Amino acid sequence: MTTTTTGTCPQCDDKTWRRRGSQPGYDHIHRVRSLPDEEREDVHWVLHGFATGFASTAEPGLPQTWVFFEYMEPALVFGRAGRMSVYDISSYGVYRAAREERFDYDSEQQVTTLYVTGRALDREAGEDKHFARWAGGVRPDSAHYEDPGQAGH
């Protein structure tokens, strides 16, 4: 499906997460059954990871907001920590996701799309193990998470 940042997009009309269309940083946010294949080309790349979504039912709470992470551990910690702000965030979820950036030749603009699957991965049994892995992957000299399970760590 070809869409542009200026055109209408039927997939952005899905109101599952109470937000229509995009948010700053994303031209499109699509709920999907399966993620697009990973791809890395000069004008098109797709990276798999996890998205944490926040929302608030309180006024003037936060609108539906998405943040993409490459690893599940920081996505889970981010979601749980955000939800502990009981006044600003009344719900959150962590989902498998893909972040796509591509050059749209019709509009001559870079287009960023977030694809989010429908089953939440947060608040499952064993989540504390992910939190411990996250703590093990935090480096004081870097904002990048380093998976402690990978060789060399």
Tell me the DSSP string of 87-147: TT-SEEEEEEEEEEEEEETTTTEEEEEEEEESS--SS-TTHHHHHHHHHHH-BTTBSS---
List C-alpha distances in Å: 103 to 23, 37, 107, 148, 153: 19, 17, 9, 35, 36
Q: Kindly give, in sequence order, each residue whose CB lies less than 8 Å from that of residue 135, ignoring residues fewer than 6 positions away.
A: none
pLDDT of residue 22: 57
HSE on the CB side for 112, CA within 13 Å? 10
pLDDT of residue 102: 94
| pLDDT single digits (tens) 35-87 | 999 999 988 999 999 999 988 877 777 788 899 999 999 999 999 988 888 77
**What does the pLDDT average to over 100-105?**
93
| pLDDT single digits (tens) 2-38 | 334 445 676 666 656 545 445 888 888 999 999 999 9
Per-residue pLDDT band at 1 (split at 50, 70, 90): very low
List C-alpha distances in Å: 23 to 19, 57, 136, 147: 8, 18, 32, 29
pLDDT of residue 16: 60
pLDDT of residue 96: 97
**What are the structural domain ranges in the chain?**
10-134
Contact 53, 16 (CB under 8 A): no
- pTM, two decimals, is 0.80
